[in-house]
Amino acid sequence: MNVATLTLAYCYSSNTMSEQQPLKVLVTLVSYGLSHEIYLHRLIQEYRSMSFRVDIVVCSNVEREVPVGVELVVGMPEKNPWSLPFAHKKILAERVDAYDLFIYSEDDTLIREEGMRAFLRALPAMHDDEIPGYIRYEEQRDGTIRYCDANGHYHWDSASVVRRGDDTFAFFTNEHAAFYLLTQAQLRKAIASGGFLVPPHDGKYDLACSAATDPYTQCGFRKLVSISHLDQFLLHHLPNKYIGTRFGTHESLMKRQVNTLLQCKEEGRIQAALIPVETRLFASWYSKDYYEPMRPEVVGEVPAESQQILSIGCGSGEAERWLAQRGAQVTAACLDGVIASCAQSEGVEALWGSWGEIKNQIGERRFDCLLLSNVLHLAPDPSAMLAECAELLSHDGRCVILVPNLGSIRSRMGKWRRDKRYLAIGDYTVSGTRQIGRGMLARWMKAAGLQVEKSHCLFADRQAKLSRMTLHAGDDLLASEFLVVGRKTIHGGNRRVYAV
């Protein structure tokens, strides 16, 4: 950390700010249309109440009324409406010499002064390429909160846990929080990297989110979130629009994960992952969902009489808990040791580690049913993994497999059009994905001593209608997923097939 930033953090994170020259802060708020006026004015009110010297610029696509003293900049970087967030970058760069701190924020994401002070407090101990970051939350009616940024494939990286000063930090794989805070030195470095002042673009994140994540994805910085003082690094997503949806993790589950991370750091442990779970495709398409819901059409294929069940690729454990409540003893081979803290419950035994470590923990145990939900396409060698899974089944046991259809008509058309988002789908070296069709899966299962009993195509609503209209002739192209059930047989052996 350079001398200027150290001085900045030391002077202004203390309680003696009134005795110092107040920090000059430039806030850029991006607001598309007029639907968020109530939230925009709430943010402006909050920033003006702070003890910093705050100047506010609103980037908008339309003319609008703003409070006196607030600057309005109207204009789109490109015709695409999602490009508006990129409008703030030129403003920050042009005024880099005039301010100490720089904020980018969407018009509904609230930070309080305590959160900014926490950033300043943490700065002196950070490395030059590290930035203290934030996570968004929403408030439920019962007073508890949900972390809306913890959804889908986003998760804590247990290998990233580090001690910096009075805080313990970790990397959360969702770098988007609709907000970032940079010092002048950090903004200068971002600009100098060549990755900041760039045209609107997408990639790891979509167009709107890329503007908020470029400092981390393109400018050489790493966003670290304090897990020892997480309550000080939270942003309120004011609309609370994701309450009641799949987007978000309850504070009780987040607390379990954070406690596990802190324990890992204290004991010097690194939690190995079961398999690579995040693809390298556009917007991380086809990555494994860490918070996968219980899906009746999938768990319904697990025989009711199965007493010993092994779920391979377990996330937060909703399906596994449902099976345990039905009366089974469930063993969950979890995606990693952090999410295992959420899966472990009455009737669910959580295991974690690499696939090789999981097999050693299982030893000679055998199971009545295996559940593999959206993991085979992410395995380095899915045919070998399936054969090894089949060895864990007792005679006449069932294997329930769910895989995404990477060879759908959408994917094929994208490749035909030479759309860069689709070209690498199925190429494991480039994208971390394997294209697995029903025929290929049936051949692997036969070689592993599994007889296919059922093979279903699962559809999104629109594709289901098309399937009926075509009398199911194009189901393998229209399906979003394949659900296949196999039974362990005496004959056929457990020959492993390594060619994919």
Q: Are 188 and 104 in contact (CB under 8 A)?
A: no
Strand, helix or coil at 41? helix
Q: Based on the domain organization, do 255 and 330 belong to the same domain?
A: no
Chain segment 406-440, per-residue pLDDT in tens = 999 999 999 999 999 999 999 999 999 999 999 99
Q: Give the residue from 210, 238, 267 where a domain finishes.
A: 267
Q: Whole-prediction pTM value?
A: 0.90
pLDDT at 458 over 90: yes
- Span 375-379, mean pLDDT? 95
Between CA 190 and CA 377 the distance in angstroms is 36
Q: Residue 400 maps to which CATH number? A: 3.40.50.150
- Does 475 reside within a domain? yes
Return the pLDDT at 8.
57
Is the same domain home to 251 and 325? Answer: no
**Residue 275 included in any domain:** no
> Are 97 and 230 contained in the same domain?
yes
DSSP-derived secondary structure letter, 292: P
pLDDT, position 16:
47
pLDDT band at 17 (very low <50, low <70, confident <90, very high): very low
Q: What does the pLDDT read at residue 460? A: 84
Looking at residue 330, what is its pLDDT? 97
Residue 278 maps to a domain? no
CA distance 410 to 413: 5
The answer to whether residues 247 and 363 belong to one domain is: no
Residue 462: pLDDT band (50, 70, 90) is: confident
Residue 260 has pLDDT above 90, yes or no: yes
Q: What is the DSSP string of 44-66?
A: HHHHHTSSSEEEEEEEESS----
Beta-strand relationship, 156-164 and 167-172: antiparallel
- 495 within some domain: no
* Total residue count of the chain as it appears in this document: 500
* Domain finish residue from 220, 237, 267: 267
- Do 263 and 316 lie in a common domain? no
Confidence (pLDDT) at 490: 64
- Residue 404 pLDDT > 60: yes
Instruction: List the structure tokens of 317.
Output: 């454990």
Based on the domain organization, do 326 and 438 belong to the same domain?
yes
Domain that holds residue 302: 283-488
CA dihedral 72, 78, 82, 86 (to 10 degrees): -60
Based on the domain organization, do 320 and 224 belong to the same domain?
no
For the chain, the domain total comes to: 2
Is 243 found in the same domain as 183?
yes
Give yes or no for residue 133 having a pLDDT over 50.
Answer: yes
85, 223: one domain: yes
User: Residues 383, 460: one domain?
Assistant: yes
- One DSSP character per residue, 200-215 reads S--SSS-HHHHHHHHH
Would residue 276 count as lying in a domain?
no
DSSP 371-403: EEES-GGGSSSHHHHHHHHHTTEEEEEEEEEEE
Amino acid letter for position 187? L
**68 within domain boundaries:** yes
For residue 110, name the pLDDT band (cuts at 50, 70, 90).
very high
- Does the residue 494 lie in any domain? no
pLDDT for residue 391: 95
Average pLDDT score over the chain: 91
As given in the structure block, the two tokens for residue 336 are: 């990693």
Is 90 exceeded by the pLDDT of residue 270?
no
Nearest to 31 by CA among 215, 234, 208, 210: 208
> What residue type is 373 in one-letter code?
S
Please check the confidence at residue 189 and state whether its pLDDT lies above 70. Answer: yes
Percent of the chain with pLDDT over 70: 93
Q: CATH number of the domain at 133, please.
A: 3.90.550
Confidence check: pLDDT of 500 > 70: no
**pLDDT reading at 246 higher than 60:** yes
Contacts of 197 (CB under 8 A, 6+ apart): 89, 90, 93, 191
- Flag whether pLDDT at 18 surpasses 80: no
Residue 474 tokens, joined: 């194009």
Q: What are phi and psi of 437, to 5 degrees?
A: -95, 170
Say if 500 falls within a structural domain. no
β-pair type (329-334, 348-351): parallel
Mean pLDDT of 175-186: 98
Regarding whether 412 and 462 lie in a shared domain, the answer is yes
Instruction: Tell whether 170 and 133 lie within a shared domain.
Output: yes
Degrees, nearest 5: CA angle 397-399-402? 165
